[in-house]
Amino acid sequence: MAQIINADTGETINVDDNSMIKEACAKIGVPFNCENGICGTCIVKVVEGKENMGELNDSETDMGLDGEYRLACQCKIKKGKVKLKY
Ligand code: FES
């Protein structure tokens, strides 16, 4: 089991290892629009646990993101805890 944590409120959502984080992020309040890696509305800052995140995908690298910032509609968590701000 892995965990998505809202860095501001401490709210924690349990997710499966190697799963998309979109639903958990919606639960902690991250806003979404296109849900398709285009608009950038769902950009989150990974404040802890960057190493627990999956690889950047093409939408994220096209947007110039480097792993400190991720698109919540596109990325996966591998395992462990990840703390996010949005
Ligand atoms: S919601 Fe548009 S990029 Fe994620």
pLDDT in tens, 8-57: 999 999 999 999 999 999 999 999 999 999 999 999 999 999 999 999 99
41 in contact with ligand 1, CB cutoff 6 A: yes
Q: How far is the CA of 31 from the centre of ligand 1 (A)?
A: 9
Burial of 53 per CB tally in 10 Å (0-12, 13-18, 19+): buried
- What pLDDT is attached to residue 4? 98
Q: Give the span between the Cα atoms of 6 and 13, in whole angstroms.
A: 9
Domain ranges, ordered by start, for the chain: 2-85
Q: Is the dihedral of CA 71, 60, 82, 43 positive or negative?
A: negative
CA distance 49 to 58: 21
**What is the CATH code for 2-85?**
3.10.20.30
Query: pTM here?
Result: 0.96
Tell me the CB-side half-sphere exposure of residue 64, using CA atoms within 13 A.
0
C-beta 35 within 6 A of ligand 1: yes
